[in-house]
Structure 1
Amino acid sequence: MREFSLPALYEVPSDGNLTDLIRRNAAQHPDVAVMARKVDGAWQDVTATEFLAEVRATAKGLIAAGVRPGDRVALISRTRYEWVLVDFAIWTAGAVTVPVYETSSPEQIQWILSDSGAVAAIVEGAGHSAAVASLRESLPGLREVWEIEQGGIEALRASGADVPDAEVDERSALANADDPATIVYTSGTTGRPKGCVLTHRNFFAECGNVVERLKPLFRTGECSVLLFLPAAHVFGRLVEVASVLAPIRLGCVPDIKNLTDELASFRPTLILGVPRVFEKVYNSARAKAQADGKGRIFDMAADTAIAYSRALDTPGGPSFGLRLKHKIFSKLVYSKLHAVLGGRGEYAISGGAPLGERLGHFFRGIGFTVLEGYGLTESCAATAFNPWDRQKIGTVGQPLPGSVVRIADDGEVLLHGEHVFQGYWQNEAATAEALSDGWFHTGDVGTLDEDGYLAITGRKKELIVTAGGKNVAPAVIEDRIRAHALVAECMVVGDGRPFVAALVTLDEEFLARWAQENGKPAGATAAALREDPELLAVVQKAVDDGNAAVSKAESVRKFRILSSQFTEESGHITPSLKLKRNVVAKDFADEIEALYRG
């Protein structure tokens, strides 16, 4: 057994709640832009004073509608300014936010609203309103529904105009640090989602220590962050609350479809994303360079960046020749990549899945350091992250200050600290299984080095045991294979089988480019090309690269390209982009059997 801890850098308030932050900001930074919202396609700043006033006016409407202290209020919306506004308004009314992914099915919405006992819901658009309306008979406790895109926020403010300020003050002060702030339903790779109860203390401990440890990235009046992750996900909430706690300017966009344009217009100093975002940036830049006849130059620049970053970790540092090449490529290539990322940022934080060492070294080598972290809903997002000044690529960093990470005898990662959740909503059995003597059992397997840097090597329940008795952690090889531009998803199989194999889906954007460059029919799909020898050879190279990271017994011997995608809509991945392995295995049982036939 091994464990590591760091002293807390932020003192969690003994009392009070998250609404204290917006009152403090208005008092100490009244004219500082703490938010930005899109108005007619342009960014409009919102000062700390203006944000507090809008939150209070919205909270008055909730109070007037009969929302009581401790009531649960559902919030179903894409990431947007109103999401943050409503979240703080719910807390100001003394209630508890229940976020719901805007992509959730009616069945999922029904379960979350029913299980949480939500008395009201604020939804984004007509589709969400219709979904909730179809469920009203099964939700007798749901009294009110407001739709953002049909003037729901304005209606709340109008109905609450006569609520006295003193009543809002009283409501906002009711919750203490140990009261629930939110119930976040885990997206769940199996079974029904569980409601993870996170308190105001959890968020103070989490966000306060993140901001203090990464202080140069959270300078008030200078720094800004663009939130494009789902706000319903705990990582998105970390971005939201940490930005308000700092405070720094926060902008919200609903997705990553037009991310390059959004980054160019908002120009954040800090980006928080998942590995797929950074993979897309790299792959898109490389594809563009190849299309422009500059693929060889890009690859040389990428190799130089990676070598330069690796040399930074050596006693002598980069050689003179490497520094010279790096300087040349900084002008030719790296500066253009910085422009794609907004032009002002030097750091990003990545979580949700492993980033991969090669990508980590590439971005640090171009002067845009991606700090990898690790966390779960139950740990209020990050429970470990790489410090800005002492990064170790290939790890997820050191424990959150004020917390402890322990590696159990069987390799499982255990967590302890004020950021760890209280338990699952009305689910004592699941809580007892996850929490033991104050330690949260993550289900992840990892190691700690001598400096307390954590590396995650797999999931206890996802370990594959081949017929030969070899234990295989699928994440390692899957992440390497998925790093290829053509690969969208990869799932390793082989439990009880004679060897390890894989199911592969293709990235539609890059498949179209590859098809055009290689003389394939226009509009050719994965279904049409899945047996194409040239395509199979390219995917085989991705598999070979993945195999280089593991032993021969763990390597993928065979793979099959699937005709369809693993999507949230198809039920094969969660909203946080995790594979639902049991669902994939069931739906593609014939494809898996074909891998082992003969």
Structure 2
Amino acid sequence: MRDFSLPPLVETLATGSLADSVFEVAERTPELLQLSRRTGGPGGDEWVPVTASRFRDEVVGLAKGLLAEGIRLGERVAVMSRTRYEWTLFSYALWSIGAEVVPVYPTSSADQVRWILSNTQVVAIVVEHEDHAMTVGAACDGLPLLRAMWQLDSGCVERLTERGRHVPETVVHRHRRAVGPRSVAAITYTSGTTGQPRGCVITHANLAVECDTLYTGWKDILAEPGEQPCILAFLPLSHIYGLMVQVACMRGGVRLGHQPDLTPDALLSALASFRPTYVFAVPYIFEKIFNKARRAAEQAGRGELFDKAVDTAVRYAEEVQRRDTGEGPGPGRMLKARHALYDRLVYRRLRAVLGGRVRHATSGGSTLDRELGLFFDGAGITVHDGYGLTETTAAVTSQPPGRPRFGTVGRPLPGCAVHIAQDGEIWVRGDVVFAGYHNDPVATGSVLRDGWLATGDVGWLDDGYLVITGRKKDIIVTSGGKSVSPRILEDRLRRHPLISQCLVVGDNRPFIAALITLDPEASRHWYQLRGKQLSFPAGATIDKELHAEIQRAVTMANSAVSRAESIRAFRILPNEFSMDDGLMTPSLKLRRGAIVKAYAADIEELYASG
């Protein structure tokens, strides 16, 4: 199968803009709990409800302040902040006056900020705190059009709102009505895993059809019947995935909360207090939750019980999937009994980590491991894996409700189509596809072909379900001419609880090798179970038993590939790759080129010793 498509569920936005939903919802249901805001700032412990009418009034007040500051229709304003309430407030205030939002990752360097702001010719920027202000200040020498900077932690929302008190509300509405579906809503930059980030021009229509399709098709699983759906946004709003979650909530009347800190303890605390009904995350988050649950079980002396519960959940989910596809009768009596037992002992504890109300979730950014997807499904949380790019306004495929196939990224969203080119590249089409790269017609022409977007990813279709096998640019060609997709090996290695990240290398080299990082918490736990002092990564040497454990993981991963594709050598690095060191994207993907450059000496030593 090379082509698959589904008819649309919703109509493309014909008039108006994203900002209209704020006013329409407030008019229709003014007391609807539209958002929940943390008390005491982003790290507060309590959640204060914000009604639709109150949020509308705050949007109007801030929009009037922006007009008073000289922001006009079609001008661009950047937002450089972590995920917090004010991000959402500013984006809707800007859209209400026809301005275009330019999201900037809060971890961006001065050079990256200079590139984005100069490329889009922004006239103002919103920053979160003093560190961001200093980063922008270091980039200002090349930004002659930048005339204003507002800082969230210095009370800029209140000052701008006060500044605009004299501006008639009718001026805001006059600007809002001048915005149409094809107007630019955001210029969102790609993660830049390879090369310079490119600005993707996303229209109001792009975001509206994406969000309306997802809400219409998946609304029945966002919460239990009779319960208002509520979602905790913790993905970066500067990334298209996070931005999509925000807009979908606002358009669908889903209560939205914000969590800026992605460290495990802070995130789990926020999930426990907010108690979402649905979760949008990336595979990295689900891997962390699973590994933390495993470590907790081992520390309590219940490691063997946990492993049996994992096996039961996977088998149970497999049998349910076989039944739903007409390939089997479903779980047998003994399997059902074991599943019920482990639900009381293990699975409900896992669900409690997410607040206790989540029964469905979405994973995006990269493919969720099949075994992990089966486990979560068997444990009572069905994770709907999806696929998309910045260029497709986030998801272009997703697991359909009630019919998931784990290990795939689902079927095309209604209104979208997938085509597999002769070389295996995935092409997609639909109203979610962006308008092009900002100020880069050559790059735009290289990916948009007669209405199709060439994604750069490779894969195949199985009864309409898309399977991703890798990225064209990531294919490694050894000096012996063997083509290797690193993804299979990397995914299998990350299944090991000690391994946090893995980067397979070998381009123009005689064999395949790997750089491996360890999960710090898992490493400490591993040493404690063996009664040893932590010697790595704090020390200079690697424990021989630890090295042997990772070698066993490598051997297991190699069993999935041929001898020529297998990892012959590896190095355990002292620290994880992170966004702070520029080696991960905000969507938690590895920046391959940056890692290879940063660890060039380690790679050379691998091949010298090999």
TM range (shorter): over 0.9
Q: Offset at 1:498?
A: 2.7
1:242 aligns with 2:254: no
**Map of 1:19 onto structure 2:** 19
Alignment of 1:37-48 (within 5 A): 37-40=37-40, 41=44, 42-48=46-52
Q: Which amino acid is 1:64 matched to?
A: A
Q: Offset at 1:493?
A: 1.1
CA RMSD of aligned residues (A): 1.5
Q: Offset at 1:91?
A: 0.3
Match of 2:284 among 276, 289, 296: 276
In structure 2, distance between residues paired with 1:191 and 1:436? 22
**Map of 1:362 onto structure 2:** 375
Identity %: 47
Match of 1:181 among 174, 178, 185: 185
Q: Deviations over 1:436-489 (max 9, x none)?
A: 111111000010112x11010001111112233322111121112122221121
In structure 2, distance between residues paired with 1:370 and 1:564? 30
**Map of 1:194 onto structure 2:** 198
Q: Deviations over 1:43-97 (max 9, x none)?
A: 0111111111111111111111111101000001110111111111110111000
**Map of 2:577 onto structure 1:** 566
Whether contact under 8 Å (1:207, 1:242) holds in the other structure is: yes
Whether contact under 8 Å (2:73, 2:97) holds in the other structure is: yes
Alignment of 1:370-381 (within 5 A): 370-381=383-394
Q: Offset at 1:432?
A: 1.0
Whether contact under 8 Å (2:536, 2:542) holds in the other structure is: no
Match of 1:383 among 396, 412, 415: 396
Q: Deviations over 1:326-350 (max 9, x none)?
A: 0011111111111111101101100
Q: Deviations over 1:78-123 (max 9, x none)?
A: 1011111111111011100001111111111111111111101111
Q: Offset at 1:529?
A: 6.3
Whether contact under 8 Å (1:189, 1:581) holds in the other structure is: yes
In structure 2, distance between residues paired with 1:263 and 1:577? 19
Q: Deviations over 1:116-148 (max 9, x none)?
A: 111011111111122222333321111111111
Match of 2:238 among 223, 232, 240: 232
In structure 2, distance between residues paired with 1:138 and 1:45? 42
In structure 2, distance between residues paired with 1:553 and 1:137? 51
**Map of 1:499 onto structure 2:** 511
In structure 2, distance between residues paired with 1:173 and 1:563? 55
In structure 2, distance between residues paired with 1:586 and 1:60? 47
Alignment of 1:225-374 (within 5 A): 225-257=231-263, 258-314=266-322, 315-374=328-387
Match of 1:514 among 512, 518, 526: 526
Q: Deviations over 1:370-397 (max 9, x none)?
A: 1100110000000101012111111000
Whether contact under 8 Å (1:221, 1:249) holds in the other structure is: no
Alignment of 1:479-498 (within 5 A): 479-498=491-510
Q: 1:229 to 1:250 in 2, by over 3 A?
A: same
Whether contact under 8 Å (2:425, 2:455) holds in the other structure is: yes
**Map of 2:482 onto structure 1:** 470
In structure 2, distance between residues paired with 1:134 and 1:503? 34
1:404 aligns with 2:417: yes
Q: 1:50 to 1:217 in 2, by over 3 A?
A: farther
Q: Offset at 1:221?
A: 5.7
Match of 2:58 among 54, 59, 70: 54
3-state SS in 2 of match to 1:262: helix
In structure 2, distance between residues paired with 1:93 and 1:185? 22
Whether contact under 8 Å (1:62, 1:156) holds in the other structure is: yes
Q: Deviations over 1:189-237 (max 9, x none)?
A: 2332111100001001111111111121346961111111111111101
In structure 2, distance between residues paired with 1:300 and 1:143? 61
Q: Offset at 1:2?
A: 1.3
Whether contact under 8 Å (1:221, 1:248) holds in the other structure is: no
Q: Which amino acid is 2:195 matched to?
A: G
In structure 1, distance between residues paired with 2:560 and 2:381? 25
Q: Offset at 1:353?
A: 1.4
In structure 2, distance between residues paired with 1:527 and 1:481? 23
Q: Deviations over 1:481-537 (max 9, x none)?
A: 122221121011122223222111111221122222223324x33263653211112
In structure 1, distance between residues paired with 2:353 and 2:580? 30
Match of 2:556 among 523, 542, 545: 545
3-state SS in 2 of match to 1:359: helix
Whether contact under 8 Å (1:217, 1:223) holds in the other structure is: no
**Map of 2:135 onto structure 1:** 131
Unaligned ranges ≥5, structure 1 = none
Q: Offset at 1:281?
A: 0.7
**Map of 1:2 onto structure 2:** 2
Q: Offset at 1:541?
A: 2.7
Q: Which amino acid is 2:260 matched to?
A: P
3-state SS in 2 of match to 1:313: helix
In structure 2, distance between residues paired with 1:338 and 1:427? 46
Match of 1:95 among 82, 87, 99: 99
Match of 2:209 among 205, 224, 235: 205
In structure 2, distance between residues paired with 1:369 and 1:404? 24
Q: Offset at 1:241?
A: 0.6
3-state SS in 1 of match to 2:507: coil
**Map of 1:86 onto structure 2:** 90
**Map of 2:431 onto structure 1:** 418
**Map of 2:81 onto structure 1:** 77
3-state SS in 2 of match to 1:557: strand
1:581 aligns with 2:596: no
Q: Which amino acid is 1:553 matched to?
A: A
Q: TM-score by structure 1 length?
A: 0.97
**Map of 1:29 onto structure 2:** 29
Q: Offset at 1:544?
A: 2.8
Q: 1:7 to 1:530 in 2, by over 3 A?
A: farther
Q: Is 513-522 or 112-121 further displaced after alignment?
A: 513-522
Q: TM-score by structure 2 length?
A: 0.95
Q: 1:582 to 1:137 in 2, by over 3 A?
A: closer
Alignment of 1:148-159 (within 5 A): 148-159=152-163
Q: Offset at 1:239?
A: 0.6
Whether contact under 8 Å (1:348, 1:369) holds in the other structure is: yes
Q: Which amino acid is 1:502 matched to?
A: A
3-state SS in 2 of match to 1:56: helix
In structure 1, distance between residues paired with 2:272 and 2:3? 43
Q: Which amino acid is 1:92 matched to?
A: S
In structure 2, distance between residues paired with 1:153 and 1:459? 42
Q: Which amino acid is 1:157 matched to?
A: T
In structure 2, distance between residues paired with 1:238 and 1:331? 35
In structure 2, distance between residues paired with 1:183 and 1:440? 18
Unaligned ranges ≥5, structure 2 = 323-327
Whether contact under 8 Å (1:225, 1:251) holds in the other structure is: yes
Q: Offset at 1:548?
A: 3.3
How many correspondences in the alignment?
Answer: 596
